A and B are shown apart, each in its own frame.
Chain A
Amino acid sequence: MAEAVSRDGSRDEPRELRVKPIKNGTVIDHIAGGQALNVLKILGISGTTDATVSVVMNVESGKLDKKDIVKVEDRELKEDEVNRIALIAPAATINIIRDYKVVEKRHVDLPGEIVSVVRCQNPNCISNTSEPIKSRMLVKAKNPVLLRCIYCEQPLTDRLAEYLI
């Protein structure tokens, strides 16, 4: 858990909390630096949410060069919700917190198909029209991520964040 982070990363220095520990909820750690807002987008958490959400961006990390952390209070995110995060943050870890304790810790893993998360990059794809269908992408490879639109079969690999719905 990276609930507390020292300014220079040293364990001997006095520790200063950038964000307080949460009592109950979900902490998403080890998000690639700069991707926290996209993670919120994937989770469907917008500026109008009622939830208490803390976002820490670009803190130093041993595992990643820089990482982001997202804390969502009083909401335990379900596995299928968080797995979609792997699209842009494959190293993310999910910590479920109850009464300040980590009761569950897991890595994200992309499912075989993702629905209504990214739109097809092909402007002439039928999924980019007003037809009553959802964007559906087959996950063909996970590292690096390779998606294939179920409708037009065009691949999507780069700049995934640009195509988030």
Chain B
Amino acid sequence: MFKKRHVLSMREFSREEIDSVLDLASSLEPFARGKKSDMLAGKILALLFFEPSTRTRMSFETAMKRLGGGVINLGPAEGSSISKGESLADTVRVIGGYADALVIRHPKEGSARLASEFSPVPVLNAGDGAGHHPTQTLLDLYTIKKDSRLDDLSIALVGDLKYGRTVHSLAYALSLYGADITLVSPPTLRMPEPIKSDLSSKGTRVRETCDLNEVVNNVDVLYMTRIQRERFPDPVEYKKVASSYRLTPEFLANARKNLIIMHPLPRVDEIAPAVDATSHARYFQQSFYGVPVRMALLKMLIGGGA
């Protein structure tokens, strides 16, 4: 079912391929929790992070090590060949010779695809500028499947829908499952038109609102994102918007019993710490699910398939 050489963009995934990744991730969960494995013994994963990352980088490292493999890291760019002006193409050709797969995060959109053209080994995109972050989307889908349901889901994507790459990829992937998507954002941070028309052309029901109150009691999943202060020239306007998208236990009083709240993290003010103790909170669990999902991808790409 899964015949990919690289993982670059959710656009390249069929529903069947997504399902095969999620199924394998589910079977690998015991190993993500510490059960011993040598499935990837002798294999090496190279982490090329040209931008800071905590969760993605560490969960890839954890996934590889839990399966018995090793990890090599690109050091700080100042000390490496990058500062000497080496092209990304040359860097991946060289490091591809040391490792069995490359994970890349880079500030330029399309960088992972470029890497895949020059790398002798599989490339996994861990975020290319404002472009794609497919492994985040897959772990989001895994969370939804595990703790809610993927088919005929009613989901609200909340916050910065203009610049947030995770919501773009997630909305696209959910369109494969017939989701009912409500986009909740301030007018200045609405989801770009081309993405919305792309979703509509796939028959996905999409509606837009600025008012979180309107939707909170009628959805299965609330997917929160961070609204960045720097998007607003006026600090007063930022405060007004940020406070209108802040979840508190009181705000959730009439929510569906099985509502789950997700967030790609890090959060700032958009979810009050008191929400953590409610039955709705899933964001820390979601973050953990990055390990089995990335294990599944690594096993499929370099461990002899599913």
Contact = CB atoms under 8 A, between A and B. Distances in A.
A150 B114 CA distance: 10
Interface stretch (B28-36, B105-113, B289-297): B105-113
Given A132-B87, A132-B89, A133-B117, A126 B110 contact: yes
Interface residues of B, number: 20
Interface in A123-137: 124-127, 129-133
Contacts of A124: 107-109, 129-130
Interface range on chain A (Cβ under 8 Å from partner): 10 to 19
A156 to B, nearest CB: 11
B110 A127 contact: yes
A129 B88 CA distance: 10
Contacts of B194: 155
B168 to A, nearest CB: 10
Majority DSSP secondary structure for residues of A touching B: loop
Contacts of A130: 87
B131 interface: yes
Contact of A131 (B89, B107, B109, B128): B89
Contacts, number: 53
A122 interface: yes
B88 A126 contact: yes
A152 B88 CA distance: 15
Interface in B95-116: 106-111, 113-114
B110 A125 contact: yes
Interface of A: 120, 122, 124-127, 129-133, 149-155
14 contacts: A120-B110, A124-B107, A125-B108, A125-B110, A126-B106, A126-B108, A126-B111, A126-B113, A131-B114, A132-B87, A133-B89, A133-B114, A154-B109, A155-B194
